Amino acid sequence: MIPAFVDNETWTITILGWLIVFAALIFLVGIFLVVPRLILWSTKRALRKKSKYSNREIKDEELILSGEINAAIALALYLYFNEIHDEESNIITIKEVRRRYSPWNSKLYGMNNVNFPR
Amino acid sequence: MIKSFKLPLLLLLFMFLLTGTNVFAGGFDSMKPEIFEKAWEGLAKFWNFTGFANAHYTNFIMIAVGLFFIFLAIRYDYEPLLLIPIGVGILIGNVPFLAGNKIGLYEEGSVLNYLYFGVRQGIYPPLIFLGIGAMTDFSSLISNPKLMILGAAAQVGIFATFWGAAILGFMPAESGAIAIIGGADGPTAIFLSSKLAPHLMGAIAIAAYSYMALVPVIQPPIMRLLVPKKERLIKMKPPRAVSKLEKILFPIIGLLLTTFISPSALPLLGMLFFGNLLKESGVTERLADTARNSLINIVTILLGVTVGASTQAVRMVTDPDTGELINKGFLSPDSIKIFALGAISFVVATAGGLIFARIMNLFLKGDNRINPLIGAAGVSAVPDSARVVQNEGLKCDPTNHLLMHAMAPNVSGVIGSAVAAGILLAFLM
């Protein structure tokens, strides 16, 4: 037997429950719409204190970077640090090799007179 | 000739081993018929212990289900990290045995029962959430917070299922536990059902994980049905870069705000945001690393196997009210209803997210418009539903990458389903 309707409690939980989930996430949305503005405001304030920015207005675009720009910078840095060894000077130099004399590396001591004609 | 000697000798040796009686000591006179009787009794006793003697056809049905899960995981790569442990768990849980020897999952004092303690008391799900928090990047969500609402919209699946379960005659607490399947979040489903309807936990968990694994199959047709091609082509503007301060503030504010609204979800949301703070703080890398690797792996193994093993085909228990023996096993009409409700809740949740995204577009202009496909990621099957959105987006336009955008409703869906679980717990406990 399938009841045609559900009781009031079920309706209450169904509607109220969903609305509370919405409310919780909308609160979070509200806060995270405000937080970046607050951070921007405090950054601008800190920059104005520095002499470089004291005589002009700082635009939001100067402080906000898009994810794409960040990704490009990150990729460029990654490539730079990983491929830095490939950038050679292209100057080939033959360095003079000097060995100090030692009886251990003396050519004379290392020679055998095997085929010397007697 | 040699063969004819071998057989009696082997028989004597077998009897010696079986009964512990030295038949040679007193000569063959001591071989009395009792020895054979004892041997026969021993064999019969052994037979009664075997799985063959205790088997029921339902065990084989469940073993086939377990094997099917393993097949899906290996052949089609559907959530293998979950389906392999669950599939093996189903095999373990459905090997027939003689009850009363501390073997089965539901027998007090058995090893499996100890492992199952973490599921029964809701210990494993918060630990999984800790790991999820430590591996989730909330940047896309913080950069475009309005997408968070899509995570709430998709939770319509939970509440529609609650309503549907009540219509099908489930008790309110049972309906709440079944409803959470619509959240598409396995740990949350286990957490809530362990509190509200422990006897249905096996069916609920299996339904939740099965549908999560089937997200790539269930969602695309609904997406194509509800979103016209013109809107599927919408390109969203790239997300802005998020500062480290915002990333640190998010778990702290999120934790305080959501748990003040829904304190019952504290174990889940507390651990989720704690894990995320470990990651984003930048000073606890070792802890974050443990949480997102070793810890979550260990807990996933234990959770998967024990949840799988909890699906015993038939489990007769005494009804505390009537004193009658009733079947609380997995193979019951209730399980079929739960699976049907689970499928409907997934469809409703996906549709809810997609429709809400289209409604949001009515109020958004220019490059602020969103691609409605990302609404489907509001169900919290992380990251599968976001991946499905990406694939569907690429099918329409090979240059339109929606993955980052879809991750925002996807992770907000995790928060939304945990909040919904807390609300259901508060209403129904």
The confidence band for B210, taking pLDDT boundaries of 50, 70 and 90, is confident
Residue B208 within any structural domain of the chain? yes
Phi (first) and psi of residue B316, to 5 degrees: -85, 125
For residues B370 and B361, is the Cβ–Cβ distance under 8 A?
yes
Cα separation, A21 vs B422, whole angstroms: 10
Check if B416 contacts A (Cβ < 8 Å).
Answer: yes
Chain B from 131 to 160: CB within 8 A of any A CB: 141-143, 145-146, 148-149, 151-153, 155-156, 158-160
Residue B244 within any structural domain of the chain? yes
ipTM exceeding cut-off 0.95 for this assembly = no
Mean pLDDT of B152-157: 90
Residue B316 within any structural domain of the chain? yes
Share above pLDDT 90 across residues of chain B, in percent, rounded to a whole number: 49
Check if A41 contacts B (Cβ < 8 Å).
Answer: no
Q: Is A26 left (phi over 0), alpha (psi -120 to 50) or beta?
A: alpha
Chain B from 218 to 247: CB within 8 A of any A CB: 237-241, 243, 245-246
Mean pLDDT estimate for chain B = 87
pLDDT of residue B8: 61
Mutation target for A interface from B427, B428, B429: give the one with most A CBs within 10 A.
B427
Interface contact A64-B427, CB threshold 8 A = no
pLDDT of residue B269: 94
The single-letter DSSP state of residue B378 is G
**Residue of A11, A25, A70 with shortest CB distance to B152:** A25
Residue B27 within any structural domain of the chain? no
Range of the domain at B216: 102-428
Cβ-in-10-Å burial (0-12, 13-18, 19+) of B136 comes to: buried
Residue B417 within any structural domain of the chain? yes
Which chain A residue's Cα is nearest to B155?
A18
- Kind and range of the H or E run holding B326: strand B325-327
Which chain B residue's Cα is nearest to A35?
B246
Of B182-186, B197-201, B388-392, the range with the highest mean pLDDT is B388-392
* Choice between B265 and A6, residue whose per-residue pLDDT is larger: B265
Interface contact A21-B172, CB threshold 8 A = no
Residue B49 within any structural domain of the chain? no
Structural domain count of chain B: 1
Check if A105 contacts B (Cβ < 8 Å).
Answer: no
Residue in A27, A59, A68, A104 with CA at minimum distance from that of residue B415? A27
Residue B86 within any structural domain of the chain? no
